[in-house]
Amino acid sequence: MATEFNLVSLFLEASIVVKVVMFILIAFSILSWAVIIQRSKVLARAKKDSLAFEDRFWSGEDLHRLHEGLEHRRDGLSGAEQIFYVGFKEFNRLQQANPDAPESTIQGSSRAMNLALNRELEEVENYIPFLGTVGSISPYIGLFGTVWGIMHSFMGLSAVKQATLQSVAPGIAEALIATAIGLFAAIPAVMAYNRLSLQVSKLEQNYVNFIDEFTTILHRQAFAKK
């Protein structure tokens, strides 16, 4: 309890600039944890949904029937479901419009799926760059608060006839808290940024693999009909 009381006292006795720096860093930390928790849930759900759909896709269900089933909940599609829906819809549209050009049909459906892939990745990557920003700038903001606090502390010695460690130590301690809070905000943000970015990369690779495999199936269908 004594340590906690000392920390609170040092915070309350810090200069206005150092307090503002601390408030900014604490806000960054709170926002970072909110992003970490929310994005972790989004990525976990995206991975689970992708695996579930791929299991259904490879179960041997007719592609037209699968597409019709997704049509009923069009607005709720995401991930591999959305990629499949967009690709198969474009494939059918192009095949009906020009049945004698299978290569163009495959290229068009592949482009549609890649566009859907980019939109899905944009959705899951939302706010993750913020973690990288917090991890990069928080130590420097904390360092600014520390430098300002130490400068303010030494400037206060000009009114003292005899400078002692006891007179300057509280001011330096107040300033160093800013650096500590900066590290407290930065370290979890950097770790989470790396982990979430890796999860996004793995999810992207799963989507790309699905597109390649699905394109192969569409290629066989297109040339079989020709």
Q: What is the mean pLDDT of residues 180-193?
A: 95
- What pLDDT, on the 0 to 100 scale, is given for residue 93? 92
- What pLDDT, on the 0 to 100 scale, is given for residue 164? 58
pLDDT, greater one: 196 or 169? 196
| Chain centroid to CA 175 | 32
As a whole-number percent, the residues of the chain with pLDDT over 70 amount to 85
Check: CB of residue 123 under 8 Å from CB of residue 78. Answer: yes
121-162 per-position pLDDT tens digit = 999 999 999 999 999 999 999 999 888 878 877 776 665 556
Residue 4: pLDDT band (50, 70, 90) is: very low
Residue 5: pLDDT band (50, 70, 90) is: very low
32-73 per-position pLDDT tens digit = 999 999 999 999 999 999 999 999 999 888 898 999 889 888
H or E stretch covering 183: helix 165-225
Tokens of 102: 């299978």
Compute CA distances 79 → 36, 51, 66, 109, 200, whole Å.
20, 10, 15, 16, 12
Q: pTM of the full predicted structure?
A: 0.84
Taking each helix axis from N to C end, the angle separating 63-71 and 79-97, rounded to the nearest 10 degrees, works out to 110
Taking each helix axis from N to C end, the angle separating 165-225 and 2-13, rounded to the nearest 10 degrees, works out to 90
Q: Could you tell me what percentage of the chain is helix, strand and coil, using 3-state DSSP and rounding each to the nearest 5?
A: 90, 0, 10
Tokens of 41: 């849930």
Check: CB of residue 84 under 8 Å from CB of residue 53. Answer: yes
3-class DSSP assignment, residue 61: coil
| Rg, the chain, Cα only | 28
